[in-house]
Structure 1
């Protein structure tokens, strides 16, 4: 399949999603403050999206679900690592997190979109069952890892906010 055919065969909503995701990544280049509840949206969306795919896709079995969970665990550890290395500030009274500007979200978003796009094309065009099975497992791994990274980052912010709140109560 030619690149032109792939681009023209891609649904419009995928390109809209790309624009939205890139705008979020570009916005993350600048520092800003956000309520902790707003920071929960992305991990919840990615986890729900991945789990919904695991439940609804007839090609997905237990091996893909286990692969998704393994990816999520690795992603959580990566997200905690990334967030704990950043210089964020929590405000337990306002329940907000001030995040420094970073290229990391833009890189994560871009890498995720490119990988998921490639996997979508591969899954749609693959002709043999063993390759299809491998693509489904890779897709589950990537989906779990992405949900985990954003979940791990959120967990780090949540933990810091609660620790600061507990410290202020003493």
Structure 2
């Protein structure tokens, strides 16, 4: 009886990461992704440097680049996200607020939205125009649809009755996501700060959120004014 023939079984070698991929991941890590990205200063990076950095980052594997973005994000950004989530969850319950406190949050978020546009796209005026247009459209829609129509003024307690709603939480997290995405995009491709299409789109989205926030502040003021006029008439 013969000896069975031995077969050479090759053990698959572990797949090594290519040198190009490693360099691309390190290139992403070198970029500090800030929450509020400032536009390019005059006389900053040369166009050829920007193009080289842009192509290097675009060609990076999506999973590796996404991981690098999360690792390079400052820790205080996640603190801001947690704070916004807490504030948003509190808005889901009915509560009594003073006139000042009930309008502070929407006005503050609208201001931060405008600041985000002005700080990121200061050299692209189309962004500001798009912000105004987006805000005007959503402000008009929110008033027409009476999005904040359940707000009530309590004259005996001199306070505003704010109904519970999930909409403020969605708006807060949505605005954070837009600001974070714009910051990441500008960190990877700084030339987008002067790109008309990108600046216009970002300004439009920022303005859309601002319009809904401003509609809430106007709804509070309208309810208080109408209640006071009614009391004065009687």
TM-score band w.r.t. shorter chain = 0.7 to 0.9
After superposition, the C-alpha distances for 1:60-109 in whole angstroms (9 at most, x for unaligned) are 4221111010111123224433112xx22212454421112111111122
Could you state the TM-score of these two structures normalised by the residue count of structure 1? Answer: 0.84
Higher radius of gyration, 1 or 2: 2
Q: Does 1:4 align with 2:67?
A: yes
Tell whether the 8 Å contact from 2:121 to 2:193 is kept in structure 1 after alignment.
no
Distance in 2 (CA, whole Å) between partners of 1:112 and 1:64 is 16
The structure with more helix, counted as a fraction of residues: 1
- C-alpha distance in structure 2 between counterparts of 1:88 and 1:143, whole Å: 25
Runs of 4+ in 1 over 6 A off after TM superposition: none
Alignment of 1:19-168 (within 5 A): 19-57=82-120, 59-80=122-143, 81-84=146-149, 87-92=150-155, 94-126=157-189, 129=192, 132-168=195-231
Unaligned segments of structure 2, at least 5 residues: 1-61
For 1:39, what is the secondary structure of its paired residue? helix
**Aligned Cα RMSD in Å?**
2.4
- Greater shift, 66-75 or 126-135, is seen at 126-135
CA contact (8 A) 2:192 2:199 kept: no
Residue 132 of structure 1: CA displacement?
4.2
Query: Matched residue pairs, number?
Result: 168
1:32 touches 1:99 (CA, 8 Å); kept in 2? yes
Conserved 8 A contact 1:54-1:60: no
String of CA shifts for 1:22-74, please: whole Å, max 9, x gaps.
00111111111111211222232223323334444465422111101011112
- Give the TM-score of the pair, scaled to structure 2: 0.63
* Distance across 2 between alignment mates of 1:127 and 1:55: 15
Shift in Å at residue 4 of structure 1? 1.5
